[in-house]
Amino acid sequence: MIFSKKDFREWGITGMKEVIATLIISVVTLGLLMIGINLWRGNIDIIRLSAEQTHEMEKVGEVDFIPLQKDSLHGSEVISIIRYFSKDSNVQINVLIDGNERSFRLETYDSSAYNIPFEMKFEKEILYENNKIVEVNFSELK
Protein backbone atom coordinates (compact mmCIF):
# COMPACT_ATOMS: atom_id res chain seq x y z
CA MET A 1 0.00 0.00 0.00
CA ILE A 2 1.72 3.16 -1.22
CA PHE A 3 0.56 6.56 -0.09
CA SER A 4 0.84 9.67 -2.18
CA LYS A 5 1.42 13.23 -1.00
CA LYS A 6 -2.28 13.89 -1.55
CA ASP A 7 -3.22 11.12 0.91
CA PHE A 8 -0.95 12.62 3.55
CA ARG A 9 -2.48 16.05 3.07
CA GLU A 10 -5.96 14.59 3.46
CA TRP A 11 -5.00 12.92 6.68
CA GLY A 12 -3.37 15.98 8.02
CA ILE A 13 -1.15 16.12 11.05
CA THR A 14 -3.75 14.58 13.37
CA GLY A 15 -3.99 11.49 11.21
CA MET A 16 -0.25 10.92 11.35
CA LYS A 17 -0.29 11.41 15.12
CA GLU A 18 -2.95 8.70 15.39
CA VAL A 19 -0.89 6.29 13.29
CA ILE A 20 2.24 6.97 15.37
CA ALA A 21 0.30 6.68 18.63
CA THR A 22 -1.22 3.37 17.52
CA LEU A 23 2.19 2.11 16.52
CA ILE A 24 3.75 3.14 19.86
CA ILE A 25 0.90 1.57 21.84
CA SER A 26 1.28 -1.66 19.85
CA VAL A 27 5.04 -1.80 20.48
CA VAL A 28 4.59 -1.09 24.21
CA THR A 29 1.82 -3.71 24.49
CA LEU A 30 3.97 -6.29 22.69
CA GLY A 31 6.94 -5.49 24.96
CA LEU A 32 4.83 -5.82 28.12
CA LEU A 33 3.44 -9.09 26.83
CA MET A 34 6.95 -10.45 26.26
CA ILE A 35 8.03 -9.36 29.76
CA GLY A 36 4.94 -11.03 31.23
CA ILE A 37 5.68 -14.29 29.43
CA ASN A 38 9.29 -14.28 30.68
CA LEU A 39 8.16 -13.60 34.26
CA TRP A 40 5.62 -16.43 34.02
CA ARG A 41 8.32 -18.82 32.77
CA GLY A 42 10.62 -17.70 35.57
CA ASN A 43 7.93 -18.33 38.19
CA ILE A 44 7.25 -21.79 36.80
CA ASP A 45 11.00 -22.56 36.96
CA ILE A 46 11.16 -21.35 40.57
CA ILE A 47 8.19 -23.52 41.55
CA ARG A 48 9.72 -26.53 39.80
CA LEU A 49 13.09 -26.02 41.50
CA SER A 50 11.40 -25.61 44.89
CA ALA A 51 9.50 -28.85 44.40
CA GLU A 52 12.70 -30.66 43.40
CA GLN A 53 14.55 -29.32 46.45
CA THR A 54 11.72 -30.39 48.74
CA HIS A 55 11.83 -33.86 47.22
CA GLU A 56 15.61 -34.01 47.66
CA MET A 57 15.31 -32.98 51.31
CA GLU A 58 12.80 -35.79 51.90
CA LYS A 59 15.25 -38.23 50.33
CA VAL A 60 18.02 -37.07 52.70
CA GLY A 61 16.02 -38.37 55.65
CA GLU A 62 15.33 -41.65 53.90
CA VAL A 63 18.88 -42.31 52.77
CA ASP A 64 21.16 -41.13 55.55
CA PHE A 65 20.43 -39.30 58.79
CA ILE A 66 23.38 -40.46 60.85
CA PRO A 67 26.54 -38.32 60.72
CA LEU A 68 28.97 -40.72 59.06
CA GLN A 69 31.98 -38.48 59.46
CA LYS A 70 31.97 -38.87 63.26
CA ASP A 71 33.97 -41.66 64.87
CA SER A 72 31.67 -41.81 67.87
CA LEU A 73 28.29 -40.47 69.00
CA HIS A 74 27.02 -39.28 72.36
CA GLY A 75 24.02 -40.83 74.05
CA SER A 76 21.93 -37.74 73.30
CA GLU A 77 22.58 -38.23 69.57
CA VAL A 78 21.66 -41.92 69.83
CA ILE A 79 18.37 -40.96 71.52
CA SER A 80 17.66 -38.44 68.75
CA ILE A 81 18.28 -41.09 66.11
CA ILE A 82 15.99 -43.56 67.90
CA ARG A 83 13.24 -40.93 68.03
CA TYR A 84 13.79 -40.00 64.39
CA PHE A 85 13.48 -43.58 63.14
CA SER A 86 10.64 -44.54 65.52
CA LYS A 87 8.13 -43.85 62.71
CA ASP A 88 10.01 -45.91 60.11
CA SER A 89 9.19 -49.63 60.23
CA ASN A 90 12.11 -50.44 57.91
CA VAL A 91 14.83 -49.34 60.34
CA GLN A 92 15.86 -51.20 63.46
CA ILE A 93 18.05 -49.53 66.07
CA ASN A 94 20.05 -51.74 68.48
CA VAL A 95 21.76 -50.28 71.56
CA LEU A 96 24.25 -52.27 73.64
CA ILE A 97 25.29 -50.99 77.09
CA ASP A 98 27.24 -53.21 79.54
CA GLY A 99 26.14 -56.39 77.72
CA ASN A 100 22.46 -55.36 77.92
CA GLU A 101 21.00 -54.94 74.42
CA ARG A 102 17.75 -53.22 73.50
CA SER A 103 16.16 -53.09 70.03
CA PHE A 104 13.97 -50.23 68.85
CA ARG A 105 11.62 -50.64 65.89
CA LEU A 106 8.47 -48.53 65.60
CA GLU A 107 8.92 -47.36 69.17
CA THR A 108 10.44 -44.26 70.65
CA TYR A 109 12.96 -43.92 73.45
CA ASP A 110 11.66 -44.26 77.03
CA SER A 111 14.27 -43.62 79.74
CA SER A 112 12.32 -45.58 82.37
CA ALA A 113 12.42 -48.76 80.25
CA TYR A 114 16.04 -48.46 79.07
CA ASN A 115 18.35 -45.66 80.16
CA ILE A 116 20.88 -44.22 77.74
CA PRO A 117 23.13 -41.66 79.49
CA PHE A 118 23.41 -38.43 77.45
CA GLU A 119 27.18 -38.11 77.74
CA MET A 120 28.04 -41.78 77.16
CA LYS A 121 30.00 -42.40 73.96
CA PHE A 122 28.93 -45.00 71.40
CA GLU A 123 30.42 -46.48 68.27
CA LYS A 124 28.07 -47.19 65.40
CA GLU A 125 27.59 -49.77 62.70
CA ILE A 126 25.19 -48.95 59.88
CA LEU A 127 23.68 -51.61 57.60
CA TYR A 128 22.28 -50.58 54.23
CA GLU A 129 19.97 -52.25 51.74
CA ASN A 130 19.38 -50.62 48.34
CA ASN A 131 21.07 -47.43 49.51
CA LYS A 132 18.72 -47.09 52.51
CA ILE A 133 19.45 -47.65 56.17
CA VAL A 134 17.87 -50.86 57.49
CA GLU A 135 19.72 -51.34 60.77
CA VAL A 136 21.93 -49.27 63.06
CA ASN A 137 23.88 -50.83 65.92
CA PHE A 138 25.25 -48.71 68.76
CA SER A 139 27.64 -50.15 71.32
CA GLU A 140 29.16 -48.42 74.31
CA LEU A 141 32.75 -47.24 73.99
CA LYS A 142 34.85 -48.02 77.04
For residue 90, is it within any domain? yes
For residue 23, is it within any domain? yes
Q: How many CB atoms lie within 10 A of CB 82?
A: 22
82-96 pLDDT per residue, tens = 888 887 778 888 998
Question: What 3-state class would DSSP assign to 2?
Answer: coil
Same domain as 12, residue 57: yes
pTM, 2 dp: 0.51
Mean pLDDT of 106-135: 84
Which range marks the domain in which residue 128 is found?
73-140
The pLDDT, as a whole number, for residue 27 is 92
DSSP 4: -
Stretch among 12-16, 30-34, 113-117, 137-141 having the lowest mean pLDDT? 12-16
100-120 pLDDT per residue, tens = 888 888 888 877 788 888 888
The conformational region for residue 130 under phi > 0 = left, psi -120 to 50 = alpha, else beta, is left
The residue among 139, 120, 124, 140 whose CA lies nearest residue 65 is: 124
The pLDDT, as a whole number, for residue 97 is 87
Number of domains in the chain: 2
The conformational region for residue 97 under phi > 0 = left, psi -120 to 50 = alpha, else beta, is beta
What values do phi and psi take at 129, rounded to 5? -145, 120
Same domain as 113, residue 56: no
17-71 pLDDT per residue, tens = 788 888 999 999 999 999 888 888 888 888 888 877 776 666 555 555 566 567 7
Q: Are strands 92-97 and 132-140 parallel, antiparallel or unpaired?
A: parallel
